[in-house]
A and B are shown apart, each in its own frame.
Chain A
Amino acid sequence: MSEPSVSRPRRWDKPFSLEAGSEQEMTDAGVEELLQQPPFSEIDASGFKRSLPLHDILKNDARIVGFDEGDIIVRRGDWGNSAFFVLSGTVRVELERGESSLPDEILGRRRSRVKSLWESIAQLWRNHREPEVRAVAEVSGSSPPLQTRMTRGRTRIYLQEVSAVLDKYRTARLEAGHWFGELAALGRTSRVATVFSEGVSQLLEIRWQGIRDILRHDASGGLKRYIEDAFRERALAAFLRTDPLFQGCSTELMQRIVDQVEFQTFGNYDSSKPFKELNSNPEQNLESGEPVIIHEGEVPRGIIMIRSGLARITQQYYQGRRTIGYLSPGQIFGLDEIRTSINSSSPLPCQTQLSAIGHLNAVLVPAELVAEILQQQMTTQNGSEQSKESPARQTVKIQDEALLSQLIDRNYVEGTSLMVIDLDRCTRCDDCVRACATAHDNNPRFIRHGPVLNQFMVPSACLHCVDPVCMIECPTGAIFRDLGQGDIVINDQTCIGCAQCASNCPFDAIRMVDIRDASGDLIVDSKTRAPLTQATKCDLCIDQRGGPACESACPHDALFRVDMQDAARVEEVFAR
């Protein structure tokens, strides 16, 4: 019997422009036309590999998309997979950031609403006995909520009255020749603004894989410069000022810092692969899997401030390296060495080594400028107070280095709400699971079982990662970061059950479940008769009055949630 044989799928078997929602197929002529105009004409095509020419990248990783009046192009808080270049027409960027911004309902998001006191108590008898019950109307899309329409072959959320929105909310206009969305796509962060079309517009959308390759091979560095300049111009100063070190900087000094900062990128950007590899083989790390940012014994050229991703701090220990801490976004490495160097005649080399876990973006602030800031602070009257480290800035350290190492190797340091059970206190009463079930229509959203590190068990529950790779490939944006709390939640109304999030999650914290109607019957697809599935996960009881029910239900203080980016909290809970 012969084995079934198919040709191995290749990267560009399905060009981006053939995916739903594209205006037209990218043709050779269309690409040539693009290459004639800036910024593409400024890219040096000679540096690209023969197997990966610029022309083919644009042809396969880019597409032209059209939008009608009011169509939402990207939503604030969504995960960015692509960048946009305005070819024609005008788009509007929402400038407001607080409560005055566009409300969730008109952006097609589930309204986060905390249950009333009565609704909370009624859960005791109103919860369904059958598992995973959904309202059929919501699943079938016949419930009213979203303002959606078919635009050029794609379902889009739109703003009904653009003029009224423009009157009410502050926006900026972007016209042909402008880029947007590139920082979120490349920085692995959520979109910081909502962008919608004002009138009819045509945009070139490039998926991040394409931008990544252009950045890698463009010898002239035109696009890279553009993206770096955009970050420098739009966000760098605000990012630096999140650290107390830069808060007292004069405008003139800050401008010099902004001008001289270097951007650095380390590690593999590809989807969730690095995290999954780390999880499947915790032994393989450091030398083999983690690119070194600063070697032990090297004199630092400046301080490293992490923009996105996580970094491991290690020290030589006999023939190997011992993990002694880690850094998360916003934290700094190398400051102590520079501070000590100011008072000594020779520069102090690093006592530890910094390496990137997975993909990492960082900025390097030159040592001379840091020395200038420190000297300025020392001369000011309250200098000593300013130089104190805030808890968020400290390197995350745990006295038990073996435990720390395991937490990093298993990538639990990604968690902003990591569930941990102290087995020395846990009486296995299951009150946490029962409370979770009560808060979720009798469907517990975690399993009280998982790896045991020392006496701490990490159950199978969503970590609410700082870099949630589960969100990367969700086609409908059903899994999103709640704008209020930053928690990652799933909107049952828009989850199509594709399981991308579940397969991307390195911690197996997302489960696909067959859904049922109120009478307990499985809801099936009208054509195939196959049961419909949806993704479910811990949502930190976002709609409950008392916060995460599991945590407050534990009578022995054994179950706790911990933000692994919060150095003081991590130290406190793991030292108990």
Chain B
Amino acid sequence: MKQLLIQYRYRLSTFLVLVVLILSGTWLYSLTLAKTAFASGTLLLTCILILAAYQWRKKLSFLALGNATAWLQFHIFVGWLSCVLFLLHIGFHVPDGLLEFALFLTYSFVFLSGVLGWLLSRIIPYRLLSRGEQVIYERIPVHRRKIQETVEKLVSDSLKSEEGTAVADFYHKHLEDYFAGSRNQVRHILHSRRHRHQLAQRVVDLQTFLNEREQETMRQIADQIQLKDDLDYQQSLQSVLKFWLFVHVPLTYTLILFALFHTITVCAFASTSG
């Protein structure tokens, strides 16, 4: 932990030194009356290409290119640096041209989705460990199906015993849809347990009207409700961790295309634009 703190401090100091250097370099360069946008733009494009290279490092994991942890730290570092360069490049105001505005929006989304992903990757693992069995994402539907089958068997057994239809009625009214698939995803992401509490309350309310055997069945169903809820929780949070990349990565490639087009345009009209 102490070593981690030292690493964080070291990274932060390096970042601050670099920011100061960039700002003073820009100021000194502006004294020559040259356009600083060329310099900041070139640096920004380089940063964006370096950031995109992380995706390729992931594909070449079998080569001795340094470990992915170091690459990710560098990726985050360069990401923050690119934000400073971006703000300098746009002169701290929203551009008004159509392409420039699209570029501004794309960069902003890429940057914000990156920051969000970084935060999620720090927060969600702790939460995943706090509830339920650690199930591989692709196998969650199989586990859910097993739970559903268990509950359906309990319900059909209760019908066979000819002691009434209370359990079956409750299942059809409140649980059939619940066990049919992933539910309460937004609530899980927001860490709300309200739905679980409500279901548990309904089970408790019913218990007073059941005989001993039916009560036992309901207790077993309640256990399965809990298991299913934990599984949904795992799926919801793991989905978030997986799918933010589906926003971040395609937007990055879009950004690179826009940025290259922007660079070509700027270079082409450099002489006329002064």
Contact = CB atoms under 8 A, between A and B. Distances in A.
Interface of A: 117, 120-121, 123-124, 423-431, 434-435, 438-439, 448-449, 452, 455, 457, 541, 544-547, 549, 551-558, 576
B129 A545 contact: no
B124 interface: yes
Interface residues on B, range: 20 to 34
B65 A546 contact: yes
B42 interface: no
Given A424-B126, A552-B68, A556-B69, A545 B63 contact: yes
Given A428-B238, A449-B134, A438 B62 contact: yes
Interface string B42-71: 000000000000000011111111111101
Contacts of B134: 423, 449, 452, 457
B121 A544 contact: no
A544 B68 contact: no
B128 A423 contact: yes
B65 A576 contact: no
Interface of B is mostly: helix
Among A120, A428, A455: residue with most chain B CB under 10 A: A428
B41 to A, nearest CB: 29
A423 B133 CA distance: 12
Nearest to A557: B69
Instruction: Give the residue among B61, B65, B121, B134 with the most A Cβ atoms within 10 A.
Output: B61
Contacts of B67: 551-554, 557
B63 to A, nearest CB: 5
A426 B238 CA distance: 11
Interface of B: 1, 58-69, 71-72, 120-121, 124-126, 128-129, 134-137, 238, 241-242
A555 B62 contact: no
17 contacts: A425-B125, A427-B121, A428-B238, A429-B241, A429-B242, A438-B62, A449-B135, A449-B136, A546-B63, A546-B65, A553-B61, A553-B68, A554-B68, A556-B69, A556-B121, A557-B69, A558-B125
Contact of B241 (A120, A427, A448, A551): A427
A432 to B, nearest CB: 9
A428 B68 contact: no
A541 B62 CA distance: 9
Given A546-B64, A553-B61, A555-B72, 11 more contacts: A117-B63, A428-B136, A428-B137, A435-B62, A439-B61, A545-B62, A546-B61, A546-B63, A554-B69, A556-B121, A556-B125
Given A551-B67, A552-B68, A423 B125 contact: yes
Given A429-B241, A452-B134, A435 B61 contact: yes
A100 B255 CA distance: 57
A544 B137 CA distance: 28
A429 B241 CA distance: 8
A429 B249 CA distance: 14
Contact of B59 (A124, A425, A427, A556): A124
Nearest to A433: B136
B239 to A, nearest CB: 10
Contacts of B238: 428
Contacts of B125: 423-428, 556, 558
B232 to A, nearest CB: 15
**9 cross-chain pairs, A with B, having the tightest CB-CB distances, nearest first:** A435-B61, A553-B61, A546-B64, A555-B72, A557-B69, A555-B68, A552-B67, A423-B129, A439-B62
B69 A121 contact: no
A448 B134 CA distance: 10
Contacts of A430: 137
Nearest to B72: A555
Nearest to A544: B62
Q: Which of B62, B64, B125 has the most CB of A within 10 A?
A: B62
A120 B63 contact: yes
A542 B15 CA distance: 38
Contact of A438 (B61, B65, B71, B135): B61
B140 to A, nearest CB: 11
Contacts of A425: 125
